[in-house]
Amino acid sequence: MRKKTWVLCSVIVLSIIFLFVTAYSQDNIKYVQDPAFTKRMRPAAVFNHDEHNENASIDDCSTCHHFYKDKVKVENETSEDMKCSECHKIDKDPVPLINKYHLRCKGCHEQEKAGPLMCSECHVK
Ligand code: HEC
Ligand code: HEC
Ligand code: HEC
Ligand code: HEC
């Protein structure tokens, strides 16, 4: 009886740890939904982070997570621990931040002639 209780307790503890770890490791995000857009006009943009970067053969994290200091881009420095909107702040008008995202995402798709360009291909309902 004692042994059974002990086993049960360990199972519960392990499940809690597992849930905690999976809930907080969001490294493989499936879509981008920047909380800076408080009044959304479109559904979140689909973006299967790891799979996308593997398929598109993007090895350099700073292609998207670039880092700037005093308005100068710092080479070999990345900013994946920051939201885009931490630097590209929305000051009443959301358009500049929207343009930054579109320039980065659609810009490359146009250049590479691969990847979606239509609104509904990224902002999937
Ligand atoms: C094609 C663009 C792109 C590339 C390349 C890229 N990322 Fe990201 N990544 C994003 C976007 C967009 C987000 C979401 C940003 C946000 O939440 O503001 C993100 C989010 C993240 C996050 C945070 C996930 C979370 O839980 O919110 C981490 C960590 C991360 N990326 C790491 C990396 C690393 C490491 C690399 C290089 C191996 C990399 N990224 C390459 C676009 C990219
Ligand atoms: C550490 C601050 C910082 C972070 C984080 C950041 N940026 Fe930037 N970004 C800048 C600065 C500064 C510039 C240059 C001034 C400008 O164009 O606003 C810039 C320029 C840009 C440009 C235009 C020049 C270019 O490189 O093509 C795009 C597009 C862009 N950022 C998109 C993004 C996206 C998308 C993210 C999130 C994945 C992001 N930025 C995260 C600071 C940052
Ligand atoms: C440096 C180039 C580059 C950047 C930056 C980039 N993409 Fe892509 N993307 C590609 C390429 C290349 C493909 C086609 C990959 C293939 O052929 O499978 C693609 C494909 C996609 C697809 C189709 C499904 C998939 O995952 O392959 C989606 C959705 C997508 N991109 C969204 C985004 C979003 C959202 C961003 C900005 C956060 C972004 N992309 C930034 C190059 C890029
Ligand atoms: C390559 C993918 C891609 C395409 C194509 C694209 N977007 Fe986006 N869009 C994004 C990403 C990434 C963001 C920033 C993440 C988010 O949605 O919060 C964004 C943000 C937005 C936002 C701000 C958030 C909101 O819902 O209010 C609007 C508005 C928007 N896009 C409209 C459009 C329209 C209109 C088109 C077609 C003309 C379009 N997008 C095409 C990827 C894309």
CA of residue 47 to ligand 1 center, whole Å:
10
CA distances, 55 to each of 22, 52, 60, 108 (Å): 24, 5, 14, 14
Q: Is the C-beta atom of 101 inside 6 A of ligand 4?
A: yes
Residue 39 Cα to ligand 1 midpoint, Å, equals 23
pLDDT at position 69 is 95
Which tens digits make up the pLDDT trace of 39-67?
999 999 999 999 999 999 999 999 999 99
What confidence score (pLDDT) does residue 8 get? 73
DSSP string covering 6-46: HHHHHHHHHHHHHHHHHHH---S-SEE--TT-SS-SSPPEE
Compute the distance between CA of residue 12 and CA of residue 63 in angstroms, rounded to an integer. 42
Residue 96 and residue 88 in contact, taking contact as beta carbons nearer than 8 Å: yes
Determine the Cα–Cα distance for residues 50 and 2; give it in Å rounded to an integer: 45
pLDDT < 50 positions in the chain? 25
Assigned token pair, 34: 């920047």
- pLDDT on residue 54: 97
Domain ranges, ordered by start, for the chain: 26-122
Closest CA to 86 of 60, 103, 68, 72: 68
Global confidence as pTM = 0.91
CA 33 to centroid of ligand 4, rounded, Å: 9
Residues with CB under 6 A from ligand 2: 64-68, 71, 79, 82, 84, 86-88, 100-101, 103-104
Q: What pLDDT was estimated at residue 110?
A: 98
Q: To test ligand 2's pocket by mutation, which of 52, 100, 111 has the most ligand atoms within 8 angstroms of CB?
A: 100
Query: What is the SS3 assignment for 104?
Result: helix
Closest atom of ligand 2 to CA, residue 103: 29
What would the CATH number be for the domain defined by 26-122? 3.90.10.10
